[in-house]
Structure 1
């Protein structure tokens, strides 16, 4: 569905590339992760996939994936209306029947009359994510979109998204190796430009509603990620 082939890129003003012949592929719907050390280029690659950054060489193919959204931590909403009014205004008519379900499952029902600036960082990130989920999309990139959200609520939200959108593609970016190991189907590990190949894909546990994950299986996935990083 999304294929990156021989991507080369260097941050302006730097000596060394961040991507040196990087290739990776996402072949099916579900939750997939981009994971790597700080500075490995996770957000950069995500923005390339979303079409927001084009100053690279190589090819990114988006087969049957026309609408890609990039949601990121600390993104802001307009401050002149309540968050409820904003959500209602930007949601397509045919998707409005999902507003209450998403808002309730995200733990946001009590804040719909509040202004965006009055919310905590975790509440703001949940509102931002909700507004993207209520649009029409093929792929949603979640770049630290659930930062500042407690662990229990974060799991509840991820499982709800999986239940509601089984045919959609999600690219999840988090600094938590346990989190990507638990919830993602495939973890694309970004490595140094000096390593070949620059990405290695590790199979995740892909936890869904009603599915338990054994501690030893989770630890094995985490160990694999650490070993190839």
Structure 2
């Protein structure tokens, strides 16, 4: 039986200020799989995510999104994609409580100018319980530790009840308790046939955590099941220092 596609990327090239940082990338993310994107700093990992999320327009190439079995454009399915950004890119001084942040995940269900309903608040609290943050719901986000903040942003993504979850280095700088909570929840999502795409920095845990792996160093070098693709040869090729296809991305 052929595995269903969630996102199909074909010959994608992305540039900043006319300097390409991702070249001719082609890869398919499968429905119901937990996929790691790995590569050195400046390899284009975050750029790939931002292009998938329509934050950046590509120079060339095409991205197809599949919700159900039909191909769609991003604007048609954006509410079906949840995103957890890098911890370092968030303004943690913004005056919001933990519950406020998680309720942001419900906005796509509310439409403009509608207040959260009891159902939305119940879902937000349920997701906070899943990430072990129930007792913090009235706490200001500026008062949380790095691991606690990451759990809150995961709860926000879960509250969206999406089909595709995209996370940019969710395990960077978190404690082991938070790492276990995050990975257990992401694996639960794949059991519900959700698609989970993660930029990941720790090569030592790829085999334990992920179903699929994508190797990137300014282009997609290899991708496929972890069992057959996560090899020393592919790792060495990806992290080789003499690859000079484009300018560094500055991730």
What's the counterpart of residue 55 of structure 1? 58
Give the CA deviation at 1:18.
Answer: 2.1
What's the counterpart of residue 211 of structure 1? none
Residues 99, 125 of structure 2: 8 Å contact kept: no
Give the CA deviation at 1:105.
Answer: 3.7
Count of residue pairs the alignment pairs up: 210
Q: RMSD of the TM alignment (CA)?
A: 2.8
TM-score computed with the length of structure 1 as normaliser: 0.78
What's the counterpart of residue 11 of structure 2? 6
Choose the corresponding residue for 2:151, options 122, 126, 147.
126
Give the CA deviation at 1:69.
Answer: 2.7
Which stretches in structure 2 are left out of the alignment for 5+ residues? 1-5, 110-116, 239-251
What's the counterpart of residue 151 of structure 1? 176
Give the CA deviation at 1:54.
Answer: 1.0
Answering whether residue 117 of structure 2 is matched by residue 87 of structure 1, we say: no
What's the counterpart of residue 187 of structure 1? 213
Residues 99, 124 of structure 2: 8 Å contact kept: no
Q: Which has the higher contact order (CA 8 A, sep 6+)?
A: 2
1:85 and 1:13, CA in 2 relative to 1: closer, same or farther beyond 3 A? closer
SS of aligned partner of 1:34:
strand
For the residues of structure 1 that align with 2:104 and 2:210, how far apart are their CA atoms?
A: 32
Which stretches in structure 1 are left out of the alignment for 5+ residues? 206-216
Answering whether residue 221 of structure 2 is matched by residue 199 of structure 1, we say: yes
- Which has the higher mean CA deviation after the structures are superposed, 182-191 or 37-46? 182-191
SS of aligned partner of 1:18:
strand
Answering whether residue 160 of structure 2 is matched by residue 135 of structure 1, we say: yes
